[in-house]
């Protein structure tokens, strides 16, 4: 097996990104070229805490391969672009602690729009919550991320272990 090397993204139509971003994209392209089987896209956290009732805790975006969140408008696409067409399914959210006073929806967004993949995290419950019924086909270059809607929460917090979505390369 030959060694896979990162190639700088400097073509006329390429967007210059950080080396870490290029490495992630290169690894996803390498995986797609060699494995038609499904892969997992998501993020894990060292207990990411989100507080209700604070200025940023309305709708926050959880980006793949990133250990934090974005509090920018969820309708603005963000995150790494998929280097291939894929079918996304089986959205899962792992919750360590939940003292929120209301249920919270976690929705997979694609290019700034909500997809059918959605998980409801019931108030006070912990564990792994999943949507195994819905799916979404995404084109190459699509940006995916999970949006937590805490706009109705006034007290409590949510501590996450992470999130994941199954990415099937055979569409």
Q: What is the CATH number of the domain that holds 46?
A: 2.60.120.40
pTM of the shown model: 0.74
Asked if residue 4 belongs to a domain, the reply is no
* Structural domain contains residue 113: yes
Structure confidence at residue 15 (pLDDT): 56
Q: How many domains does the chain have?
A: 1
Evaluate whether 95 touches 125 at the Cβ level (below 8 Å).
yes
pLDDT at residue 39 in the model: 74
* Domain that includes residue 153, residue range: 37-168
Largest CA distance in the chain: 54
Residue 134 placed within a domain: yes
Q: What does the block give as tokens for 37?
A: 């089987």
Residue 108 has a pLDDT of: 93
Confirm whether 5 is domain-assigned: no
Q: How far apart are the first and last CA of the chain?
A: 27
pLDDT of residue 34: 58
Mean pLDDT by 10 residues, the chain (171 residues): 52 59 72 64 76 64 74 82 88 93 93 95 95 93 90 87 85 65
Write down the H helix ranges in the chain.
19-34
Residue 37, judged by CB atoms within 10 A of its CB (0-12, 13-18, 19+), counts as exposed
Query: What span, in angstroms and rounded, lies between the C-alpha atoms of 64 and 17?
Result: 16
Whether 163 is covered by a domain: the verdict is yes
Q: What is the pLDDT of residue 53?
A: 66
Residue closest to 8 by CA, chosen among 20, 21, 22: 22
Residue 124 half-sphere exposure toward CB, CA atoms < 13 A: 1
Tokens at 30, concatenated: 């390498």
2 in a domain, yes or no? no
């Amino acid at each position: 097996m030959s060694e896979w090397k990162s190639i700088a993204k400097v073509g006329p139509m390429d967007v210059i990104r950080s080396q870490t971003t290029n490495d992630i994209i290169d690894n996803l392209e390498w995986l797609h070229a060699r494995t038609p089987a499904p892969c997992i896209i998501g993020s894990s956290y060292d207990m990411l805490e989100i507080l209700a009732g604070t200025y940023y805790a309305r709708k926050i975006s959880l980006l793949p391969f990133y250990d934090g969140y974005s509090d920018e408008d969820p309708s603005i696409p963000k995150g790494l672009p998929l280097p291939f067409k894929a079918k996304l399914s089986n959205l899962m959210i792992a919750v360590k602690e939940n003292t929120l006073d209301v249920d919270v929806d976690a929705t997979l967004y694609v290019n700034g729009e909500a997809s059918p993949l959605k998980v409801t995290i019931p108030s006070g419950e912990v564990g792994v919550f999943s949507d195994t019924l819905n799916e979404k086909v995404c084109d190459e270059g699509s940006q995916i991320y999970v949006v937590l809607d805490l706009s109705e929460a006034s007290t409590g917090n949510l501590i996450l272990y992470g999130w994941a979505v199954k990415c099937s390369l055979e569409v």
